[in-house]
Amino acid sequence: MTISNTSSVTKEPENYDRAKAVKDFDDSKIGVKGLLDSGITTIPQFFVHPPESLRTITTTSVSQTIPLIDLSQPRQTIVDQIRDASRTWGFFQILNHGIPPEFLDRLITSIKAFNEQPTETKAQHYSREIGRGVAFSTNFDLFQSKAASWRDTIQISLGPRQLDFNLVPEIFRKEVEEWNRHIGQLGESLMGILSEGLGLETDGLKKLTCLEGKLMVCHYYPHCPQPDRTVGIASHMDPGVLTVLVQDQIGGLQVKHGEEWVDVKPIPGALVINIGDLLQMISNDEYKSVEHRVLANPFQEPRISVGVFFNPSNRECLYGPLPELVSSEKPALYRQFTVQEFLGKFLTKGLDGRTLIDHFKV
């Protein structure tokens, strides 16, 4: 992928009203898939990212790969490998996790089917209302970001309040219900392993309600006519405790490791796991939340991913480094805070490539 003459494209024309262009696009409820279907060959100006943020897209590492962990190994081996991956990478992939590969394929196919319905059908679900339960939109931070990203997203709140599954579009309702069951079991297993890796009781993170808040996000990245001028998701760190992701075989997800960007290569049947900012702070920096991004899709076939963000359900309780992980040799690196305060800052900030955790350092 080359990035040429980008600076000439990023210069906004005179009298360009960016705020109006963004609002008109959002009001249309067509999403980026609708833009593509309209036959455009150049992306709207508000999707164009500055050249300095795109320059590193060509500097990816070809010699490194994130850890791959087989969950059929002995328990202590799994704990050790996940602990090490969480300390050094903040990302890893897992196999033999108990979720049938054929179900993961069916889940991806159902999300693809929703996004490839007529625009007027999808538009019925287009919304930015927080607390709606199910909402379809383009970029949750469309109005806060300096440049939009080339993707459409369905957000589904799976917890802590019980979701009325009748709100989920019928075209992928059964798959969401089954995914919710699978992800609840897997989430509890992973939280137990991560707790043991910190020297806590197996239910240490569970007791902090870290399993109860669940947000499902289904991303659809259609072909981009100018993939060297925008991104699929801008560089960011996940704000929550833990993220579980299934991705199709198209690729495009990258993780920053040291000064290099590393491709997270799709592996059939594997799930991608990463540590969020909250877990880095709760663990007093034992585990790391790291930058990652998704490149704009240059292929004709769309890229699809489905993730679940686990967050504490108790929004008013004070969180911070766990007492068991604080000592005179390693004092608390972060102040106490509520999840309400933390997520409020994230929603205001959007995906701008900067970490939130610096706001909470002692």
> Residue 342: what pLDDT?
87
d(CA 87, CA 285): 8
pLDDT, average across residues 211-236: 96
Confidence at residue 132, expressed as pLDDT on a 0 to 100 scale: 81
Residue among 121, 125, 211 nearest 168 (CA) = 125
Q: Give the CATH number of domain 34-359.
A: 2.60.120.330
The pLDDT of residue 139 is 95
Calculate the alpha carbon distances from 168 to 2, 106, 130, 172, 176 in Å: 40, 16, 16, 7, 8
Domain boundaries, the chain: 34-359
* Pairing mode, strands 68-70 and 91-95: parallel
Nearest to 316 by CA among 281, 335, 342: 342
Query: φ and ψ at 6, to 5 degrees?
Result: -65, -35
Structure tokens at 283: 């663990």
Secondary structure tally for the chain: helices H, strands E: 11, 15
Q: Which of 228, 314, 320, 268 is CA-nearest to residue 99?
A: 268
Indicate the pLDDT class of residue 314, thresholds 50, 70 and 90. confident
pLDDT in tens, 35-66: 999 999 999 999 999 988 887 765 567 778 99
Q: What torsion, rounded to 10 degrees, do the Cα atoms 281, 282, 283, 288 define?
A: -40
What pLDDT does residue 6 have? 38
For the residues 324-332, what does the mean pLDDT come to? Answer: 95
How confident is the model over 207-221, as a mean pLDDT?
Answer: 96
Lowest pLDDT segment from 48-62, 156-170, 230-244, 258-272: 48-62
Q: How many whole angstroms separate alpha carbon 282 and alpha carbon 77? A: 23
Contact, 265 vs 251, CB < 8 A? yes
Residue partners of 210: CB distance under 8 A and separation at least 6: 191, 241, 242, 279, 310, 311, 312
Tell me the C-alpha distance between 188 and 194, whole Å. 10
Average confidence score pLDDT of the chain = 92
CA distances from 15 to 11, 47, 62, 318 (A): 12, 17, 43, 48
Q: Give the mean model confidence (pLDDT) for residues 115-133.
A: 91
**pLDDT value at residue 8:** 39
Counting residues of the chain whose pLDDT is more than 70, the rounded percentage is 92
Asked whether the predicted pLDDT for residue 72 surpasses 70, the reply is yes
pLDDT of residue 325: 96
